[in-house]
Structure 1
């Protein structure tokens, strides 16, 4: 008994020493943590490939390479590329012997497709040489050809045409942009004339064929791909017989100023011909309809799946999984998740009998399972911590399911998920040791019932070196969107633990409008863009203060970015409970935001109509209208290249603050967009926030200022 007691005391003292050795997270810890991207499993399930970014504050020193790991976990991952240029979009050949990816290496004027022969070894060989660049490769079912995407000017009918047109544009003496329709911008870039095209090329030959060139489809004024943060994509996949390509495209994007737009599924023969619309009404191309993205075939080739986003007149609609028999294209019941949750990613089992789906659920992203032929899906297993993203499944043999796992205290790592055992095991450990050295408490979940009857989910983060006998100020942080969710994940731009430091408790509330709580809850914000969510955030702060004795209710600040910045500005207009505010990319004027943002129609739908109609909401929930009430000290930050919430809103807010003599600080990042993405700018931003909170809330070493 004495020996057992001694051993227990030894283990306890060791654990306490380990905990005491941990330190608060620094910006260097956060920024330099290796970043692991979504994995792609080999067709036979034996290997998984993924990119790893090794960040640096100097972009020239950042490294992005491909890594390979066995899915049985028998050996650690190994680096399989080591060039200066980053690789992206890795894809396996059907036999699992080769990898295709996109990279811009020495001598390339634009990114090209490279193929790495894993069986023979050696360097990757360039497969394409198209002047407009190549991305997102996909091997044909027989492994002899490669499919890829490139952006061309509409009049270009060949690569020689592309070079000629590019030279003509370059030789222009003016720099004017001319538009005849909407949209004209996306996030941080002006849209140009170039459009996405699909190419098929025989491996080993320079015979790239433009499958869409000269077609009626690309001459449509509304032709476009699926819009992404960096451009647009066609989500192309090979049909099982290798004779055609299935892809997504819009024919009504030019209607975006006055209607919801969407993408349909299309099919084009690899030998050329006019694409055939597979979904939607061919005789009514301008009509609003459900949007399809990310098509994928089952391994047995009998079923086509695609993400489906319906249009119901609501700003938000949960994503379903559309199902079609192939090749008849007979529609099957769409797969829907319990309580109207939204499909995030999906993977089809090797035997084609099951579909695995990830979906947001109360701060997590959990794994669901659907059986082929049935419309419903059910939770594969529950989880109390973290989330799964980016899942991928093998195509033959026993199903091997891989993905990323992360939590607020664990950076993303590649894992093999075992649904039968309701667990996973790590295949990579790039950030494990580094994270273990940091004092980061797991997030704590709690709920309360809002004044309007909805159950509201919250997460709370304690500071490093937490002392239960100390009273800590509260920093209320509001997420963007609004149709997103605070998640138990390792966040880069608003990292919970870096914000908390050693001095603050961080509160994260999933107000009405958040995803992960069912479609109806997310839709509940329509017609109430700011007031209702802000009231829930204030109530959450009251509940947290009453629930946790270590929170000092006399010292509170609030902040957020994007929609979270909108809410910060609404709090400025409607309450003086906070000692300070932080507003990044936040609108202050609903009307000017409508007319200057890169998206417009969804905003007026949310308000009930355009602002020139007699709709009181445009005035009643417009922060600038209450400028006479502005009195809370506020840190205002903006990226000058932000087209989603253009800087005019920041300048308008700043002038009102100065007019009302509100103590405030404006920080503009000329080389940033909606997000602060550059290392040194990010470090500066976090320092600004820390200094602002320290001034008004105080720290362990300094008392707060008086508002």
Structure 2
């Protein structure tokens, strides 16, 4: 039986299977299955427990129309903690043999993260706390702004809130607030004795020009804080060894601002001795994949083995994400690698049992029981099997070649669904955001819908992408529209030369965020493309400097200019080349995008229309910068349809 082709609406049929959590006996795994619902325009996420010995033996632990996520087992009992928004805000729950979830918190603004104490008696959690004086809902108040970091694409305008750390006793239900004041804290872990928490904060009154944070030990009894660093690092994770001797820390020293790769440091607590374990390893630690399908993924961070002699963690390199292990004396070993995207995992303390979430370009993702260090895998989930039996999913073909400047470039080519030799097909070039991100051997729904419409899809990692070493990721800074543009065009030339079936007169280009900037730049510098779609883009660095939630520092880091050098800002602005744009351009933008505010799209649209160029502007209500990944389902579908229809019209 022939399969039908993919549609945007198929996003509603697919299930995202993520966040595996192994039980202590190694016999079961709990995971999250996320579904999109068009009728109510919402998401739901359920917790499912499955047997490793018999994956068909599974049980839904939660059911309904809520989002239940981040399952974590107690270290000492068969009790599961998780986050759920079933009351309207995200709160902390536990589930045990009693069968019904028990709510542990009732924080007004919800719970953002949590960690079990090693003795299983308490859970530490973080929660956003607002000033005592609450505003009346029906009376709008002016927003008084006294800081530069006053808004966020994720959370909106800052109104005096701070993130603080709490504990809750499992037996008594007693809550204790451990931090207060005008500081925010990030929760990482407990120390092995269950007496202290490992947290991070910025101990500065004015953080507008502070981009590092400090590692702190926080006593859960006295609330005393011991600062372990002195604003020298950007710390993204820390975990304590089970024997209490070490802290493992993932961080970097901002040598290349936000283009700096992470390192793993080992802190010996007794001597306060720091050792960089990964100093000779030129890779990106942690997952950095640009994708649009998976929901409720969790980076496991730095995971200690039970004997305190090694750590496991995710590594992004060469278009793949895999699991590696490093010992306390710096010896590295690959645990799970290959042409795939490992988007999460759970490993037993003895390292013998590993459950990993794995996606490939032709498969949305499943959980697998993996024999560490071998190729032996048993698939545990089949959430999308019936769908995949009916719908054609195209497997990407890897593209590798050397640029004229001598560096190797990697990308992938999707042939059109139903490809037939002897036929001629148009090509759409996709450009990821960041720019410090990475396309990978992973499923991308947008690309599959374009292939289903008869387009070939080319996507590459140009200079500036993570996964290819520090020099490569740093190469884009101060050169937007230079070497990165040449890399993308070289990729187009290469695939045209290798694939005679691609019609070079029918080329399209699209991308979002930095990819939107590059789309704007490309159509202002060549007329080779017959259609383009720019999404949540940047068009004018001069105005971006003041309107983006990250504008002033991101512009200085990436363009390496500020308002004292408007000539350079304008030189790198696609709006400066609007007279040269002849390509029909569709502009897509979210109304509530604070990362690349919608005025960037408005300027470009008006400039094009004033010059009577072919363009259409679609504004997406209630949508921030994450529209394509986590926006309202109906708007995500409308976006996919608009992209496909534009390319069908002009290619």
TM-score by length of 1: 0.85
Instruction: Give 5+ residue unaligned stretches, structure 2.
Output: 288-300
Task: Name the SS for the 1:266 alignment partner.
Answer: strand
In the alignment, the residues of structure 2 paired with residue 61 and residue 502 of structure 1 have an alpha-carbon distance, to the nearest angstrom, of 27
Q: How has the CA–CA distance of structure 1 residues 250 and 69 changed in structure 2, closer, same or farther, with 3 Å as cutoff?
A: farther
Matched with 2:455 is 504
What is the alpha-carbon root mean square deviation over aligned residues? 2.2
In the alignment, the residues of structure 2 paired with residue 343 and residue 313 of structure 1 have an alpha-carbon distance, to the nearest angstrom, of 18
Q: How does 1:144-543 map to 2 (within 5 A)?
A: 144-153=121-130, 165-166=133-134, 169-170=135-136, 173-188=139-154, 189-213=156-180, 218-219=181-182, 223-225=183-185, 234-252=186-204, 254-256=206-208, 259=209, 261-280=211-230, 289-336=232-279, 338-344=281-287, 345-374=301-330, 377-380=332-335, 382-383=337-338, 385-395=339-349, 397=350, 399-492=352-445, 495-543=446-494
Give the C-alpha shift of residue 181 in structure 1: 1.0
Matched with 2:104 is 127
Q: How does 1:610-649 map to 2 (within 5 A)?
A: 610-613=562-565, 616-649=567-600
Give the C-alpha shift of residue 502 in structure 1: 4.0
In the alignment, the residues of structure 2 paired with residue 61 and residue 589 of structure 1 have an alpha-carbon distance, to the nearest angstrom, of 34
1:48 pairs, out of 9, 21, 29, with 29
Question: Is 2:6 aligned against 1:29?
Answer: no
Q: How has the CA–CA distance of structure 1 residues 456 and 191 changed in structure 2, closer, same or farther, with 3 Å as cutoff?
A: same
Identify the range of structure 1 (242-251 vs 519-528) with the bigger mean alpha-carbon deviation. 242-251
Give the C-alpha shift of residue 22 in structure 1: 1.7
Q: How has the CA–CA distance of structure 1 residues 237 and 356 changed in structure 2, closer, same or farther, with 3 Å as cutoff?
A: closer
Q: Tell me if the contact between 1:477 and 1:559 (Cα under 8 Å) persists in the aligned partners.
A: yes
Q: How has the CA–CA distance of structure 1 residues 132 and 575 changed in structure 2, closer, same or farther, with 3 Å as cutoff?
A: closer
Q: Tell me if the contact between 2:591 and 2:620 (Cα under 8 Å) persists in the aligned partners.
A: yes
Q: Deviations over 1:642-673 (max 9, x none)?
A: 00000011000001101111111110011211
Q: How has the CA–CA distance of structure 1 residues 504 and 355 changed in structure 2, closer, same or farther, with 3 Å as cutoff?
A: same
Matched with 2:642 is 688
In the alignment, the residues of structure 1 paired with residue 472 and residue 538 of structure 2 have an alpha-carbon distance, to the nearest angstrom, of 23
Give the C-alpha shift of residue 398 in structure 1: 5.1
Q: How has the CA–CA distance of structure 1 residues 250 and 422 changed in structure 2, closer, same or farther, with 3 Å as cutoff?
A: farther
Give the C-alpha shift of residue 557 in structure 1: 1.0
In the alignment, the residues of structure 2 paired with residue 602 and residue 570 of structure 1 have an alpha-carbon distance, to the nearest angstrom, of 18
Q: Tell me if the contact between 2:267 and 2:275 (Cα under 8 Å) persists in the aligned partners.
A: yes
Q: Deviations over 1:226-279 (max 9, x none)?
A: xxxxxxxx13322111111111212348433xx351222111111133322112
Q: How does 1:547-566 map to 2 (within 5 A)?
A: 547-566=498-517
Q: How does 1:561-572 map to 2 (within 5 A)?
A: 561-572=512-523
In the alignment, the residues of structure 2 paired with residue 674 and residue 95 of structure 1 have an alpha-carbon distance, to the nearest angstrom, of 41
In the alignment, the residues of structure 1 paired with residue 248 and residue 54 of structure 2 have an alpha-carbon distance, to the nearest angstrom, of 30
In the alignment, the residues of structure 2 paired with residue 628 and residue 83 of structure 1 have an alpha-carbon distance, to the nearest angstrom, of 53
In the alignment, the residues of structure 1 paired with residue 254 and residue 21 of structure 2 have an alpha-carbon distance, to the nearest angstrom, of 31
In the alignment, the residues of structure 2 paired with residue 417 and residue 114 of structure 1 have an alpha-carbon distance, to the nearest angstrom, of 29
Number of paired residues? 633
In the alignment, the residues of structure 1 paired with residue 242 and residue 421 of structure 2 have an alpha-carbon distance, to the nearest angstrom, of 55
Task: Name the SS for the 2:433 alignment partner.
Answer: coil
Q: How has the CA–CA distance of structure 1 residues 50 and 336 changed in structure 2, closer, same or farther, with 3 Å as cutoff?
A: farther
In the alignment, the residues of structure 2 paired with residue 309 and residue 612 of structure 1 have an alpha-carbon distance, to the nearest angstrom, of 29
Q: Deviations over 1:403-456 (max 9, x none)?
A: 210112111222223223234322212113322432222111111222222211
Question: Is 2:69 aligned against 1:88?
Answer: yes
Task: Name the SS for the 1:658 alignment partner.
Answer: helix
Give the C-alpha shift of residue 319 in structure 1: 1.1
The structure having more radius of gyration, on CA atoms, is 1
1:69 pairs, out of 27, 33, 50, with 50
Give the C-alpha shift of residue 74 in structure 1: 5.1
Q: Tell me if the contact between 2:11 and 2:36 (Cα under 8 Å) persists in the aligned partners.
A: no
In the alignment, the residues of structure 2 paired with residue 655 and residue 391 of structure 1 have an alpha-carbon distance, to the nearest angstrom, of 47
In the alignment, the residues of structure 2 paired with residue 317 and residue 451 of structure 1 have an alpha-carbon distance, to the nearest angstrom, of 26
Matched with 1:138 is 115
Q: Deviations over 1:96-137 (max 9, x none)?
A: 4101122244xx4643322111xx342122223444433433
In the alignment, the residues of structure 2 paired with residue 349 and residue 437 of structure 1 have an alpha-carbon distance, to the nearest angstrom, of 42
Give the C-alpha shift of residue 182 in structure 1: 1.9
Matched with 1:701 is none
Q: How does 1:572-587 map to 2 (within 5 A)?
A: 572-587=523-538
TM-score by length of 2: 0.92
Identify the range of structure 1 (480-489 vs 245-254) with the bigger mean alpha-carbon deviation. 245-254
In the alignment, the residues of structure 1 paired with residue 157 and residue 364 of structure 2 have an alpha-carbon distance, to the nearest angstrom, of 34
Instruction: Give 5+ residue unaligned stretches, structure 1.
Output: 1-16, 155-161, 226-233, 281-286, 698-707
Q: Tell me if the contact between 1:323 and 1:331 (Cα under 8 Å) persists in the aligned partners.
A: yes
Q: Tell me if the contact between 1:41 and 1:393 (Cα under 8 Å) persists in the aligned partners.
A: yes
Give the C-alpha shift of residue 471 in structure 1: 0.7
Task: Name the SS for the 1:574 alignment partner.
Answer: coil
Give the C-alpha shift of residue 367 in structure 1: 2.5
Give the C-alpha shift of residue 505 in structure 1: 0.6
Give the C-alpha shift of residue 83 in structure 1: 4.2
Give the C-alpha shift of residue 33 in structure 1: 0.6
Task: Name the SS for the 2:48 alignment partner.
Answer: strand
In the alignment, the residues of structure 2 paired with residue 644 and residue 578 of structure 1 have an alpha-carbon distance, to the nearest angstrom, of 27
Q: Deviations over 1:610-652 (max 9, x none)?
A: 1323x75323222111222122110011001000000011000
